[in-house]
Structure 1
């Protein structure tokens, strides 16, 4: 049953993963945007093979979801990053982050090492505060 207090947000060019795994890229609720984990997937759902390209694609996919809700990286308050091999990948990934996060203050961040991400190297999940002009009135 659909709740009138929350609505799904889909960016243009819906990725195959959303339909295949039956999830919304983000949900708007109570002045907040809860973004599902974004990976470095192409539109067909396949992963970018190169680590740097996959990281850039994950952030581009995240940016598309944020923009579809009227948000930007500046509105992100909490980030969870899942990595399959943090000791080998973390430094390379951290060199890419500033081109998306910009300057301090940065959002809160939790990094989690995992054993499997369905063929992906990392997944980025965020919570953003919706700008007042993008918030829908509560019913």
Structure 2
């Protein structure tokens, strides 16, 4: 196997070292981004739900930007929500309105979970990298 082509955003390197994972990997013209949460610089969760979602997207966009990509290049999305029955309706309009961009939209899978290490929202994506 060849060496992984890891993409690091500005800052947050300690978070990845602490938990032993890469923020994103480039492979065969795609960018595979690890799940991003609304973590502050110290790794703690943003307390307010919608602020946590916004920070998760900010963290995601930092990785996409570091790879020379953007959310417009995203083709696949997986979203994890703790207690989606009570949170989905407050999260989803904000996500679509403020972060998703224009149609055509990427495909998506939403997963309800019981635990995200103190977070309530996580997003992971696969993006097609722009041609060099």
Alignment TM class, shorter chain as reference = over 0.9
User: Is the partner of 1:132 in helix, strand or coil?
Assistant: coil
1:90 aligns with 2:91: no
Alignment of 1:1-139 (within 5 A): 3-4=2-3, 6-97=4-95, 98-133=97-132
Unaligned runs of 5+ in 1: 134-139
Deviations 1:17-68 (CA, angstroms, capped at 9, x unpaired): 2111111100001100000000000111110000011000000000000000
Q: Distance in 2 between matches of 1:129 and 1:71?
A: 8
RMSD, matched Cα:
1.2
CA offset at residue 106 of structure 1?
0.6
SS in 1 for 2:123: strand
Task: Report the Cα distance in structure 1 between the residues aligned to 2:81 and 2:100, rounded to whole angstroms.
Answer: 18
Runs of at least 5 residues in structure 2 that lack an aligned partner in the other structure = none
| Secondary structure of the corresponding residue to residue 106 of structure 1 | coil
Asked whether the equivalents of residues 15 and 44 of structure 1 are also in contact (C-alpha less than 8 Å), the reply is no
In structure 2, distance between residues paired with 1:110 and 1:16:
29
